[in-house]
Amino acid sequence: MVNTSNDEKVAELIQATHEYIPGVGVFDLDLEVHNSSIFGLIGPSGCGKTTIVRLLLGLLKPDHGMVRVLNTESTKLSGRLREKLGYLPQHFVLYPNLSVVENLRFVSSLYGYSVSKRKHNIDEIIELVELGEARKRLAKDLSGGMKRRLELAAALLHDPELVFADEPTTGIDPILRSKLWSYFRDFRDRGKALFITTQYVGEANFCDVVGVMSTGRLLHVDTPANLYRRALGGEVIVISVDISDIEETADILNKDRRIHKIDKVAGDPGSLHLTVDNSGEMIPYLAELFSKKPDIILQKINRYEPPFDEIFPLLVRKQEAKPQ
Amino acid sequence: MKIIMRLLAFFWKELHEIRRQPGLILSLILGPFVILMLFGLGYTGQHPPLRVDLVIPKSLENDSRIQQVEKIVQNHFVLINTYNDETPALRDLKAGNIDVIESLPSDLILNLQAQESTSIKFVYDTVDPQKAQYIQYISYIQLEEINNAILITTISGIQQNASQFNQQISALLDNLDAISSSLTVDNIQKTQASLQILVNTLDMLTSNPAYDSLLSLLEGQNPGYAQQIQQLIQDLNTLNDAIKNGTVDQQKQLIQTLIQRLTTLKNDTQQIQNISPTVVIAPVKETYNNLRGDPVDLIIFYTPGVFALILQHIAVSLGALSLVRERERGSLEFFGVAPISMLQVLIGKYLAYLLFLGIIVAVLMSMLVFLLHLPFLGSLSVFLLFTLLFSVASVGIGFLISVISRSENQAIQASMLVLLLTVFFSGFLIPLEYFRQTYNYIGYVVPMTQGNIGFIDILLRGEPPAQLQVIILGIIAAVTFLLVVIIWSRQFRRLNP
C-alpha cells in the first residue's frame, strides 16, 4: 500500500468485492486512503468508480472482503462518525426549488448545526466557492458549474475529515475544473483526506495517490510518479540535437548501460527519448558528456513527462499482458 | 438539540419547496374545490320531469272521466302529445322526443262499471336502470292517484244514495212497526216490498269496491260491523221467507231485533253522509318532526365531505410524491451519508406536511364558514384534534404509496386510485348503506370514510365524532406509519436492498 504521508489511515478496502449480477461489479479491491492526501481513482466511465465510493460510504455492502472508514466497518458508521464525512455525489441531488442559502441551511441542519453557527459556516463556504452573488438564486436557475460548486459547498460545509467526491469535474469547463482542484488541494493542505473519482485521467497528476481502474478491478495503486515509471519502464529524458548529428548521438548513448531504451521521437527527427532509472542523476551526467564533444551541439535535455492520458492505456495494457 | 435541528431541517425544506410551487398548491387546493363547488351548485338532486305521450282510444275520447285522468297524468308527467293509437307515440319514443308512453285500455270505463280491474300500459325505452325505476315509481304514484280519484267518485256516489237508503230503512222501520202491532195483509205486503228494496240495496252496497273502505272506517267506531251487516241481511231474508211462508206471526222476536238493527243502521247511514270521501280513502295521514329542526341545505350537507376530500387528497398527493422524489433525485443517497436517521427524516417530513395541512385547514375552513356560511356547531378543540388525526392517517397513506412506488408516475397513479376509491366507497357520494355489508369494509382503508362522518358530526351536529371513527383513523395512522418505517428502513442507506 502507498502512504504518501505519515498520517493515519482513514479509509480502506481489503479484498472487497461487490457484484450486481454475476461478472458485473467490482472485484478484489485493496486500497488505503490516508489523511492529508488526495486519493484519485481514475478509469473510464462504467468501470466501477461510483460503486467503490458507495462501498466506502456504506451505501453498498461488500459481498466479500472488508470496507473500513474511520476505523469502522462502513455500513456500521455511527452518526458521530458520519459527521466527519463529506460527500459530493456525481449528480446534483440538492433541491432545485430552494435557493443556494436555503440548500446550505438544509444541509447544515442535517449535521445539527445551531442557527448561529450555521450562518457563520454558510457565509464562509459561500465565499470559498464564490457563490456570494448567487446566494439567493434558486438552485434550478444556477449554471452547471455553479451547481457543482454548490454541491461542493454542501460537502465541505461541516468541515469534514474525509470527503468523497464522485467525478466532481465531469462536464465542467477547464477553468472551473482548475478552481475545484485548487479547493481540493487547500483542503488536503489542512490535513484532510479526499477520495476523488474522475474519468479525466489527466487529473491523476493532481492527486497524491492514484488508483487505476478498468472493468471493475483496481490495476494499480501508486503515486503518479511511480505510475509513470511503471508505464514507461523508468524515467524518460528527452534530448535534442541537430538532425545531422542524431545517428552519432544515438551511437554514443547506446554504449551507456544505464540507458535502458532509446526511442526516436515521432515528428521531431532531432530528438530522442531515453529511458533511465534516475533522470536526476543522468541529466547532469549527459550534459557534461556532450559538452566534451564539440561536434555535437546539445540543444535541449530535460525530463519528459507525457500526459497521463498516454500513461493510462500503457498501464492497462501492461496489466493485461501480465499472466493471470 | 441536534435532533431538533435535523427535524427542523426537513420541516423548513419541505415548506420552502411547497411554497415555491404555487401551481402545485393551486391545483391541489383550488382544483378539487372548484370542481366540487361547481358540482354542488349544479346538482339539484332531482330527476328531470318525464315527457309523456298519452294514448286515448277513440271510444274514450269524449268521456268526461278521461279528462280527469288526463289532468292527473299532467300532475306527474309533461304531456307532449295525445294520440288515439300507439304508433305515432312509439315513433316519438324511438326519436327520443318523449320518455314514456301511457296507454289507456279501450275497455277502461266498461271494466270500471263492471267493477273489474283493468290496467294502464306504460312503455319506455331505456338502458338506465335508475331511469326505469323512476318511470315505474312515477307511474305507480300516478295510478294511486287515479285509483283514489275513482274511489272518491264512488264514495261520493254512495253518499249521494245514502239519503235514499235512509228513506228505505225508514220505510221498512215504519212497516215493521205496523206489522208488529197489526198483522194485516196490507201491512205484510208493504213490509215485504220495502224489505225487498232494502235487501237489494244492501247487496249492491256489499259488492261495491268502496264497501271495504267504508266498512273499515265504521269498524273503527263499532267493532264487528261486517258481521252485523251480514246478520242483518240474514235476518231480513229470514223475515222475507216467513212472509212468503205465512209464518210471519211466529217472527215477532225477529221483527223487534230487526227494528233495533235498522235503527242503528239508519243512524250510521246518517254518519256516512257526513264523512269526507278523502278520509275514507286515506284515513291516516303523516306528520313529521325533525329533532334537528330543518335539515341543512344540500350544498352545506356535502361541504364537510368536500373539506375532508380536499384535505385527504392534498395529504396523500404530497406524501406520495415526497419519498419517491427524494429517491429519484438521488437525495436519499445524500441523506444516507449524513448523520441523520431514517426516523428523523420521516418524522421531519410528517411535521412539515402536518403544518402545511394546518395552514390549508385554516384557509379552507375560513372560506367555507365565511363564504359558504357553513355552520360550525362543534368544539374547535375537538375539530382540531380530529383534523390532526385525519391528516396523520392521510399523510401516512401517501407515504406508504411513496415507499412502494418505483417512480413519481407510479406514485401519482396510485394517488389517483386512492381518490377514485374514496369517491366510490367512502360514502361521500353514494351512501355506504347502498353497498353490501362486506363491500363497506373497502372504504375503511381510506381516512375519508371516517372523516366524512366525523366532520359532519362536529360541524353540522355539534357533537364529537363517534369512538369508531377515531379508532379506525388511529389504526390507519399507526399501521401506515409502521409499514412506511419497515419498508423505508430497507431502502434507506441500502442502494441494493
Q: Burial of B182 by CB count in 10 Å (0-12 exposed, 13-18 middle, 19+ buried)?
A: exposed
| Measured CA distances, B269 to B158, B177, B196, B234, B344 (Å) | 10, 20, 18, 19, 91
Search chain A and give the residue with CA nearest B491.
Answer: A59
Contact criterion met (CB < 8 Å) for A59 and B329: no
User: Which residues 257-316 in chain A show a CB within 8 A of chain B?
Assistant: none
CA angle A139, B341, B343 (to 5 degrees): 100
DSSP secondary structure code for residue B1 in this structure: -
- Which pLDDT value is given to residue B345? 87
Q: Which helix (H) or strand (E) holds A264?
A: strand A259-265
Contact criterion met (CB < 8 Å) for A112 and B20: no
- Which pLDDT value is given to residue B92? 95
- Tell me how many residue pairs between chain A and chain B have CB atoms under 8 A apart: 86
Per-residue pLDDT of chain B (497 residues; tens, 9 = 90+): 777 888 788 888 888 888 887 787 777 667 767 776 787 777 777 788 999 999 999 988 888 788 888 899 999 999 999 999 999 999 999 999 999 999 999 888 777 777 678 889 999 999 988 889 999 999 999 999 988 888 887 778 777 777 777 888 888 788 888 877 777 888 888 888 887 887 887 777 777 666 776 666 666 666 777 787 888 888 888 888 888 888 878 888 888 888 888 888 888 777 777 777 777 777 788 888 888 888 888 888 888 998 999 899 999 999 999 889 888 888 888 888 888 888 888 998 999 899 889 988 998 899 889 888 889 999 999 999 999 999 999 999 999 999 999 899 999 999 999 999 998 899 988 888 888 888 888 888 899 999 999 999 999 999 999 999 999 999 999 999 999 999 988 877 665 43
Can you tell me the distance from the alpha carbon of B228 to that of B91, in angstroms, rounded to the nearest whole number?
Answer: 57
**Chain B contact for A106 (CB, 8 A cutoff):** yes
| Measured CA distances, A36 to A155, A223, B157 (Å) | 17, 14, 119
How far is A47 from chain B, CA to nearest CA, in Å? 18
Residues of B in contact with A75 (CB under 8 A): 493
Can you tell me the distance from the alpha carbon of B480 to that of B487, in angstroms, rounded to the nearest whole number?
Answer: 10
Contact criterion met (CB < 8 Å) for A97 and B8: no
How far is A184 from chain B, CA to nearest CA, in Å? 20
- Which pLDDT value is given to residue B306? 87
pTM: 0.72
Query: What pLDDT digit, counting tens, does each position of A56-90 carry?
Result: 999 899 999 999 999 999 988 888 899 999 999 98
How far is A111 from chain B, CA to nearest CA, in Å? 6
The identity of residue A157, as a single letter, is: L
Search chain B and give the residue with CA nearest A140.
Answer: B20
How far is B453 from chain A, CA to nearest CA, in Å? 38
DSSP secondary structure code for residue A235 in this structure: E
Query: What pLDDT digit, counting tens, does each position of A17-28 carry?
Result: 999 988 899 999
**Option in B21, B339, B496 nearest A79 (CB):** B339
Tell me if A322 sits within 8 A of A214, measured CB to CB.
Answer: no
DSSP A38-104: EEEEE--TTSSHHHHHHHHHTSS--SEEEEEETTEEGGG--HHHHTTEEEE-SS--S-TTSBHHHHH
Residues of A in contact with B493 (CB under 8 A): 58-59, 75
**Option in B5, B329, B337 nearest A57 (CB):** B337
Residues of B in contact with A111 (CB under 8 A): 338-339
How far is A77 from chain B, CA to nearest CA, in Å? 9
Tell me if A70 sits within 8 A of A12, measured CB to CB.
Answer: no
What percentage of chain A's residues is helix, strand, coil (to nearest 5)?
A: 40, 30, 30
**Option in B16, B21, B333 nearest A59 (CB):** B333
Half-sphere exposure of A90 (CA within 13 A, CB side): 14
Which residues are bridge partners to A162 per DSSP?
A: A85, A193
Beta carbons within 8 Å of B246's beta carbon, 6+ residues apart:
none
- Local mean pLDDT, 10-residue blocks, chain A (324 residues): 65 94 91 94 89 92 94 90 92 90 91 83 88 92 90 90 90 82 90 91 87 90 87 88 91 90 89 90 91 88 83 79 66
Contact criterion met (CB < 8 Å) for B493 and A58: yes
**Chain A contact for B341 (CB, 8 A cutoff):** yes
- Which pLDDT value is given to residue B495? 56
Can you tell me the distance from the alpha carbon of B312 to that of B321, in angstroms, rounded to the nearest whole number?
Answer: 14
| Measured CA distances, B149 to B69, B135, B145, B213, B282 (Å) | 9, 21, 6, 14, 12
Residue of A63, A90, A106 to mutate, testing the B interface (most B Cβ within 10 Å of its Cβ) = A106
**Chain A contact for B17 (CB, 8 A cutoff):** yes
Q: Of A72, A63, A71, A70, nearest to A26 (Cα)?
A: A63
**Option in B8, B17, B21 nearest A109 (CB):** B8
For chain B, counts of helices (H) and of strands (E):
20, 4
Contact criterion met (CB < 8 Å) for B16 and A98: yes
- Which pLDDT value is given to residue A180? 85
**Chain A contact for B338 (CB, 8 A cutoff):** yes
Residues of A in contact with B327 (CB under 8 A): none
How distant is the alpha carbon of residue B172 from its chain centre?
A: 55
Tell me if A219 sits within 8 A of A316, measured CB to CB.
Answer: yes
Which residues are bridge partners to B50 per DSSP?
A: B77
